[in-house]
Amino acid sequence: MIHAFHIENGNVAYKNRWVRTPKWEIENQEGEGLSGTFGNPALHRSPVLALNSTVANTNIVWHAGRLLALEEAHAPFALDPADLGPSRSKRGYETYGDRLVGRSLRIPSSIPKTGEMIFFRLFRPRAASARK
């Protein structure tokens, strides 16, 4: 869940929302969770598998004029800072012009001098016996 405080003219407004990823949308529509243990596709129901989406519930960062929700299994999820819904311009996952391929880590590092943000990606090749 993301929380926001908007301060203007001496007034404060509070808003909170679940990050509305495609997975959240379908589970909300169905009224129940449709996925099982993280990383075990055998426990997911078919609508969730086809989405290639998750909850983006681990970290929130502001970078390059964008509000991004992060988690480890997917690209950052772009949010509209006004209503906390999916960004209208990005419509969800931010891949930086398809330059970000695969997963990103939930805790990026920023370089103040250049404004760049670095995502670390953990990758471990499968053992030869697992490839068969």
Which residues face 100 on adjacent strands?
A: none
pLDDT at site 128:
52
Give the 3-state secondary structure of residue 27: helix
pLDDT of residue 8: 94
Q: Are strands 59-63 and 66-70 parallel, antiparallel or unpaired?
A: antiparallel
CA distance 114 to 132: 44
Q: What are phi and psi of 48, to 5 degrees?
A: -75, -40
High-pLDDT (> 90) share of the chain, %: 11
What CA–CA distance (Å, rounded) separates 68 from 82? 13
pLDDT tens digits for range 30-58? 888 777 666 566 666 666 666 777 778 78
Q: Which tokens hold the place of 32?
A: 């129940």
Q: Which two tokens stand for residue 38?
A: 């993280």
**What values do phi and psi take at 130, rounded to 5?**
-85, -15
**What pTM value is reported for the model?**
0.75
Whether pLDDT at 11 is above 90: yes
pLDDT at 92: 82
Q: For 73-98, what is each residue's pLDDT tens digit?
A: 788 889 988 888 888 776 788 888 88
The predicted-structure confidence for 121-130, as pLDDT tens digits, reads as follows 665 555 555 4
**Helices within 4-119 (DSSP H only):** 22-30, 46-51
Tokens 């969730």 belong to which residue?
48
